[in-house]
Amino acid sequence: MPARSLTCSKKMDYKKPTEVNRPEHYSGIQSFFSCPMKYYYSYVHNGHGIVSIDHVPAMAFGTAIHFGLASYAQHRSYDSVAGKIIKDTEILFNGMMYPCRDDVAAKIFGLKANIRAALITSFNNFFIDYLDTYAEVPFYVPEYNFYGTVDRIDKGIKRILWEYKTSSSLSINTVKSLVNSIQQPIYVLCLNKIGFPVDCVNTAIIKKSTLRTRVKEEMEELTLRIAAEYISKPSEYIFKSEWDVDKKLLVDTEIELRAALDIIRSTSVYYRNTSNCFSMMGNRCRYYMICRDDITLGYKDKEPLNLGKHKEERPWL
Ligand code: SF4
């Protein structure tokens, strides 16, 4: 068992690079306030960040589901294109998994079956009945030097912003943290700033199945078993929430976003926040091994900023 804390004591000297005007992204903000060193590893190291191999499967799963759902929203014709979407999604997934193909073959097999099953179920659950639906919408807000990509926007009587999330748990805490994340308010604010206001936000969380591959089981068989799970217990695998946008939310979010960006941009030294090395579920930070062995770094805990102060006011069920 790895130690649950990092014990370096040397003074750290990882200074912020001179390029201070780098555009920020929501996930950068999230990682900075979870642990500034995580942000450093993800976004700053050698100018482009480090991709930790042991995190690739989870990343690839989430990216594949997002890709499949975006493709579905673009085509909006489930019967004719579902097979092709799933095939294309798998090609993307294979490419992402390439670096760890040998050591996690069983995991890849299970994840692929899960992606197929989750997409088939999600296509039905997130049915699109709007005439105008946009998927994978990139945006950039010069005023904040901030960019992102919106998963989906349905434009009808109401404009609905959709955010898809994948998770290995649908526990009440996980659901709360994903639905109350400040990401959606920031995206709403940014869309508003660039002249594309939305009326409400849908968060759709898709849980990864826990079914394991049986001996000599074919992919098709495992996919059907997982799909049967998704279909027979939808509430255990898919969670949807919808909330309306109001003016106060936009005002609060703008204050928070500006404060967060100011802190990130004025930081001259990246600290470690070791209280976030392990999640409540016991999952370890994707950079744990790198960070633990990085003896040039020192150790200092710093209170993370309490982002999302408005979140208790937003209904999430
Ligand atoms: S292992 Fe811990 S201290 Fe290091 S980057 Fe991750 S959360 Fe931060």
Neighbours of 149 (CB within 10 A): 14
- Quick check: is 109 in a domain? yes
Q: Is the pLDDT of residue 198 over 90?
A: yes
Please give the average per-residue pLDDT across 298-305, as a whole number. 41
* Residue 201, domain extent: 17-308
C-alpha span between 232 and 40 (Å, rounded):
43
Report the pLDDT value the prediction gives residue 296, as an integer from 0 to 100: 54
Name residues whose C-beta falls within 8 Å of residue 30's C-beta, 6 or more positions apart in sequence.
181, 183
Report the pLDDT value the prediction gives residue 17, as an integer from 0 to 100: 46
User: What is the residue-averaged pLDDT of the chain?
Assistant: 78
Among 169-183, 209-223, 248-262, 272-286, top mean pLDDT goes to 248-262
Q: Is the pLDDT of residue 283 over 70?
A: yes
- Which residue's CA lies nearest to atom 7 of ligand 1? 277
pLDDT in tens, 229-282: 888 888 888 888 889 999 998 999 999 999 999 888 887 777 778 888 887 777
Tokens at 280, concatenated: 């409540």
Residue 11 banded pLDDT, cuts 50, 70, 90: very low
From 180, 228, 233, 171, select the one nearest 203 (Cα to Cα).
Answer: 180
Question: Atom of ligand 1 at shortest distance to CA of 37?
Answer: 5
- Quick check: is 297 in a domain? yes
- Quick check: is 8 in a domain? no
Report the pLDDT value the prediction gives residue 178, as an integer from 0 to 100: 84
Report the pLDDT value the prediction gives residue 310, as an integer from 0 to 100: 35
Please give the average per-residue pLDDT across 187-194, as a whole number. 94
- Quick check: is 233 in a domain? yes
Asked whether 253 and 313 are in contact (CB, 8 A), the reply is: no
Please give the average per-residue pLDDT across 174-191, as a whole number. 89
Q: Describe the chain by its helix, strand, coil percentages, rounded to 5.
A: 50, 15, 35
Q: Is the pLDDT of residue 304 over 50?
A: no
Residue 197 banded pLDDT, cuts 50, 70, 90: very high
Report the pLDDT value the prediction gives residue 234, as an integer from 0 to 100: 82
Report the pLDDT value the prediction gives residue 109, as an integer from 0 to 100: 84
- Quick check: is 313 in a domain? no
Lowest mean pLDDT among 48-62, 133-147, 159-173, 270-284: 48-62
- Which residue's CA lies nearest to atom 1 of ligand 1? 288
Model confidence, pTM: 0.80
- Quick check: is 6 in a domain? no
Q: Is the CB of 37 under 6 A from ligand 1?
A: yes
- Quick check: is 316 in a domain? no
Q: Is the pLDDT of residue 129 over 80?
A: no
Q: Is the pLDDT of residue 317 over 50?
A: no
Q: Is the CB of 38 under 6 A from ligand 1?
A: yes
Please give the average per-residue pLDDT across 93-114, as a whole number. 79
C-alpha span between 278 and 188 (Å, rounded):
30
Tokens at 206, concatenated: 């898709």
Distance 144 CA to ligand 1 centre (A): 27
Residue 307 banded pLDDT, cuts 50, 70, 90: very low
Provide the 3-class DSSP secondary structure of residue 25.
strand
Q: Is the CB of 288 under 6 A from ligand 1?
A: yes
Q: Is the CB of 286 under 6 A from ligand 1?
A: no
Give me the number of domains the chain comprises. Answer: 1
Report the pLDDT value the prediction gives residue 20, as an integer from 0 to 100: 55
Please give the average per-residue pLDDT across 57-77, as a whole number. 84
Q: Is the CB of 6 under 6 A from ligand 1?
A: yes
- Quick check: is 186 in a domain? yes
Q: What is the DSSP string of 127-174?
A: ----SEEEEEEEEEETTTTEEEEEEEEEESSSEEEEEEEEES---HHH
Q: Is the CB of 82 under 6 A from ligand 1?
A: no
C-alpha span between 11 and 297 (Å, rounded):
7
CATH code where residue 137 lies: 3.90.320
